[in-house]
Structure formats: structure tokens, C-alpha cells
């Protein structure tokens, strides 16, 4: 089943260059682990009770065998040549709009308004507004692993698979860099050691 997910520009770049093959985000809502009176515990999540926290894996949105379609910042329009909008061919037939992606746009990329003047800023559309037809083939990935874990349980190898660069100057540099990045997106979640959903996908679709 095809399922869409929004990603940032940096994540889109990592997926495209093959450096990122895993992705994590906060599990919503957070599961509640409740101790039993005698021993052990049980889990409450989405109004349901489970004997084990990892039973939740079977109820996650993204499952092994699904294909995740990564939505990214984009814009649609037409080429402009000598200030003229190329929205029709030589015979006057209307052309389909082209799609440009922020993740691989040249720094010198410019955008023209309807009157043919260059705009001060390119009006990129957020990834959440990307329609399915605009998702490029390179951003459609088969899921080969789906699981949950607490944020601080990520391994060094899995942190590297998140596409972070790390630095050889400190131990566990990939984990440290991933945690720093995650906390910059979701402030305070590192200290809470929240539960996250994780997926691993193939480099090649």
C-alpha cells in the first residue's frame, strides 16, 4: 500500500543521495506503561490495552511491505524564455505544468511572477501540500522494516542510517549528532526519551 509522509529539505537530500535509509518520528499518542499490582506491567495506547509495548508494532500506520512516498517542498509552473511563459506549444496547445523540487534546486534558481518579472523569493510550497502525482519515483521507497523504540535506544549504526554526518572527534558521534538534530526538531523530547516509530527502506525503489 502506498502511504505518504512529509520530510524536510535536508531529509529529502539524504534520501536522494542514498545516505539515509531509516527515518524516525514521535509515536502519537505516546503509550502509557502501567505497572501491575503484583508484577510486570501493561500498556495503554489509543484506548486499547496491550500486554507488551512491542505489540503496538502491529497497529502502526507504516508496515513492512508498504511503499512510503516522501513528500517534499516543491513548486509547479512553466519554463520562462526571454520573459515569456512557455505554457503552450507552437500549435497553441496548453502544456502540463512542470515540477521543481527545493531539495535539488540550483542556488541561482529564480521564479517569475505572472507578469514575467523575477520574484524576490521562490514561493516554494510546503511538503504537506504536495499531491501524490508530484512525488518523484526516486522518493518512493519500499519499507523493509518497521518497529518502535525509545529515542535513546538507537544504535550507532542506525543513527548513521538516519543520514547524519557525525564527527570522529567524540565517541558514538552518529548517535550524538542524531539526538542533537532530533531535539532541534522536537525540543524536549530527548530528555523525555519518548517512544518513536522507525522505518527502514531500500535505497532503490
Distance from the Cα of residue 31 to its chain's centroid? 22
Residue 40 lies in a domain: yes
For residues 156 and 65, state if they share a domain.
yes
Spatial CA neighbour of 11 closest among 182, 132, 187, 168:
182
**pLDDT greater than 60 at residue 80:** yes
How far apart (Å, rounded) are the C-alpha atoms in residues 115 and 160? 47
* Residues whose CB falls within 8 Å of the CB of residue 195, separated by 6 or more in sequence, listed in order: 26, 27, 30, 31, 53, 148, 149, 150, 151
How far apart (Å, rounded) are the C-alpha atoms in residues 136 and 130? 11
For residues 51 and 93, state if they share a domain.
no
What is the per-residue pLDDT across 155-192, written as a single tens digit (0 to 9) for each? 999 999 999 986 655 556 899 999 999 999 999 999 99
* Residues whose CB falls within 8 Å of the CB of residue 16, separated by 6 or more in sequence, listed in order: 103, 104, 138, 139
3-class DSSP state for residue 103? Answer: helix
Domains identified in the chain, total number: 2
Residue 130 lies in a domain: no
Cα-Cα-Cα-Cα torsion 131, 147, 168, 179, nearest 10 degrees, comes to 70
For residues 95 and 140, state if they share a domain.
no
- pTM confidence score: 0.88
Residue 190 lies in a domain: yes
Q: What is the mean pLDDT of the chain?
A: 90
Residue 111 lies in a domain: yes
For residues 57 and 141, state if they share a domain.
yes
For residues 10 and 66, state if they share a domain.
yes
What is the per-residue pLDDT across 122-156, written as a single tens digit (0 to 9) for each? 999 999 999 999 999 999 999 999 999 999 999 99
Per the omega criterion (within 30 degrees of 0), is the bond before 78 cis?
no
Q: What is the mean pLDDT of residues 52-76?
A: 94
The whole domain housing 17 covers: 2-70+136-201
For residues 65 and 7, state if they share a domain.
yes
For residues 94 and 193, state if they share a domain.
no
Residue 131 lies in a domain: no
CATH number, domain of 52, equals 3.10.400
Residue 89 lies in a domain: yes
For residues 7 and 53, state if they share a domain.
yes
**pLDDT greater than 90 at residue 35:** no
Phi, psi of 13 (to 5 degrees): -65, -40
Query: Of 106, 125, 144, which residue is a domain's last?
Result: 125
For residues 49 and 83, state if they share a domain.
no
3-class DSSP state for residue 49? Answer: strand
How far apart (Å, rounded) are the C-alpha atoms in residues 72 and 130? 7
For residues 140 and 195, state if they share a domain.
yes
**Highest mean pLDDT: which range of 14-18, 35-39, 166-170:** 14-18
For residues 66 and 7, state if they share a domain.
yes
For residues 61 and 156, state if they share a domain.
yes
Amino acid at each position: 500500500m502506498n502511504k505518504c509522509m512529509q520530510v524536510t529539505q535536508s531529509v529529502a537530500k539524504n534520501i536522494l543521495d542514498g545516505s539515509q535509509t531509516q527515518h524516525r518520528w514521535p509515536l502519537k499518542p505516546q503509550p502509557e506503561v502501567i505497572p501491575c499490582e503484583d508484577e510486570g506491567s501493561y500498556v495503554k495506547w489509543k484506548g486499547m490495552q496491550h500486554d507488551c509495548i512491542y505489540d503496538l508494532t502491529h497497529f502502526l500506520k507504516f508496515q513492512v511491505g508498504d511503499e512510503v512516498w516522501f513528500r517534499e517542498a516543491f513548486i509547479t509552473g512553466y519554463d520562462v524564455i526571454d520573459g515569456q511563459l512557455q505554457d503552450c506549444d507552437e500549435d497553441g496547445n496548453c502544456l502540463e505544468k512542470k515540477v521543481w523540487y527545493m531539495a535539488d534546486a540550483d542556488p541561482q534558481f529564480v521564479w517569475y511572477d505572472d507578469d514575467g518579472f523575477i520574484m524576490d523569493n521562490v514561493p516554494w510550497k510546503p511538503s504537506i501540500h504536495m499531491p501524490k502525482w508530484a512525488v518523484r519515483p526516486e522518493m518512493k521507497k519500499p519499507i523493509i522494516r518497521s518497529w518502535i523504540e525509545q529515542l535513546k535506544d538507537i544504535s550507532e549504526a542506525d543513527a548513521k542510517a538516519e543520514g547524519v554526518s557525525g564527527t570522529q572527534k567524540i565517541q558514538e558521534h552518529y548517535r550524538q549528532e542524531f539526538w542533537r538534530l532530533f531535539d532541534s526538531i522536537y525540543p524536549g523530547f530527548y530528555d523525555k526519551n519518548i517512544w518513536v516509530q522507525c522505518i527502514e527502506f531500500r535505497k532503490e525503489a
